[in-house]
Structure formats: structure tokens, C-alpha cells
Amino acid sequence: MLRKMHPLVEAAFEGRHRVHRLSEAADPEALLAEIGPRVRALCVGGHVSVDGALMDRLPNLELIANFGVGYDAVDAVAAHRRGIIVTNTPDVLTDEVADLALGLVLATLRKIPQADRYLRAGHWLKAPFPLTASLRGRRVGILGLGRIGRAIAHRLESFGVAIDYHGRSRRADVPYTYHDTLIGLAHAVHILIVVAPGGPETRNLVNADVLEALGPEGILINVARGTLVDEAALTAALTAGTILGAGLDVFENEPHVPADLAALDNTVLLPHVGSASEHTRAAMAQLVVDNVVSWFEGRGPLTPVAETPWRPNA
């Protein structure tokens, strides 16, 4: 374990496997040099980087078990070249993140945190809270219609809003309107929900041009990775009124949030809590454990990522 993890993961391997906790070592570099050739599996989470250079220091590494559905901090391509399997924790957090995304949509449109602060400050005694925007009559666009994107869309259907999407390709199994460019999607909708994977290919995908296309009534919601959004461009767009508001659960350099972005009142900002319920984090931790146990028992990984498909007896 490169860093401290969920207590369920911490406790699961006691008496079952030899566990080395790198972050607790007095000299992590010395420990890594000593145990590197013997390490067969890594348990990692959050934004802990696992690159090819680290893999080379672990010549017998077989498995990287990632805590989270996103694994952009792990170089899965480099792992594949070295015959290493990478796993993540899909499905068990889908509903939790989708719920939070809808919460951000409503909180940003109806200014729920701002209204709460207004009441607590005693301003209601002087005047009613100003009228807000509404979800009524709005069209919602989803960037990335994977598991979580589809769960968000399913929830939005109950609100009676039109749903559009953009991704790598059109999906034949959904009734939503497809746009072959992100700019086209942004032009067509009032609310843009970002739920695409992170990584170099999607860095700053939501840029100044996309925000301008979203327009002055537009709302940006990001529950994916902060790197997908150009934060400087977003801050400028929110300040200038290029878009109406933003609800963000993720940021480019977490846990650091730019002061000029945090100072804006047309935002709802959360400290990356999309999957952060006790129930869901326990389920994610259990899936990390189950992947490792299944691997060492010879049954293969349960949830390998696309870049490192599992081929038994290969």
C-alpha cells in the first residue's frame, strides 16, 4: 500500500498476505529498494501516481488494485506493456455519484447553499431571497455516457427534461440525442454535466470555446475529474457572465482550489465527495479486496480495466 487506505482494505489482508505500508516507513525509498523485487500487488487509491518508473522498481508486480472507478493516476498502458493487470471499482459507486450529480444540478440552479447562507445571516428578515433559475424548460447535456452518465440520464428522465450527450461514439441502446462534437453539445443544451474519464487525452476538454457555446444561461456540472475543465477559463467565464453558474465536485489540483474561483457566488463547490458515503466507500473497499483475493487464489481479476484485459492462461 503506497498510502493509507480505507480501514476495510487495511484490515482485510492481515494474516492472509504480507503487507508493506510505504507511507508508514521511516525511509520509504529504502523499503522500496528492499521489497521491490518481492512485491506482487499494489493497492492504491485517490490520486496516487503509479507510472512506468515505479513499475520497473517492482519487477514481479502482477496486479494494481485501484480504489475508485477513475484510474487516470495509474499508467494502465505502461502496465499492459509489462503484463500487469489493473483493476478499478466500477458499478458499486455509480448510484452514489449520479445522486450527487443531480444534487449539484439542483443546488446550482436553485442556489440552495446561497439561500441557506442568506437565511443564517438574517437577510430574510429584511427581504425575500432573489428568484433563481429553474430546471423547467432546460435541456441537459452529458459528456461521457458510461455507467455513471447513464445513471444520471436515467434520473434526469424523471424530471421531464430533454437529454443530449457526446462521447467517443453514438450509442444504439439509448433514446437521447447524440452530438458528434462537444461544441455542438454545448450549443444545444443549457446544462452540461461532465462525467468523462480523466487523463491526458481529456485534459482541458471543456475550454473557453465550449463555455462560450454553453452560453449566458448555461450551467456546468463536473463530477468526473478536475483536469477535464480549464479552470482559468471557467473562472473567467463565471466572472464575465459567459455562463450562469457551475457546480463542481472536482478540481485540477486537489485539494487546492483557486481563490478567485472559490470567491465566486455563482458556484457550488464540494470537496470531491461524489462517492463519499460510508456505504459506498465500504463497497469500493470490498471490491479492492475481492480483486486481490481473487487474483492470489488463481481466479483472475474481477474488474480489470479496458487497457489490461484478463486472458486466463495467456
Indicate if 96 belongs to the active site: no
- Which three-class secondary structure state does DSSP give residue 77? helix
* Active-site pick, 40, 110, 147, 272: 272
* Active-site pick, 38, 254, 279, 299: 254
Is residue 85 within 8 Å of 79, Cβ to Cβ?
Answer: yes
Q: How many CB atoms lie within 10 A of CB 282?
A: 14
Query: Rounded distance, CA 275 to CA 281, Å?
Result: 7
Query: Rounded distance, CA 214 to CA 242, Å?
Result: 8
* Active-site pick, 225, 231, 252, 281: 225
Distances 75 to 56, 66, 81, 194, 199 between C-alpha atoms, Å: 12, 11, 10, 22, 9
Identity (one letter) of the amino acid at 92?
V
Is residue 263 within 8 Å of 238, Cβ to Cβ?
Answer: no
Nearest in space to 305 (alpha carbons), one of 101, 73, 96: 73
Indicate if 217 belongs to the active site: no
Indicate if 136 belongs to the active site: no
Q: How many CB atoms lie within 10 A of CB 159?
A: 14
Catalytic sites, residue numbers: 225, 254, 272
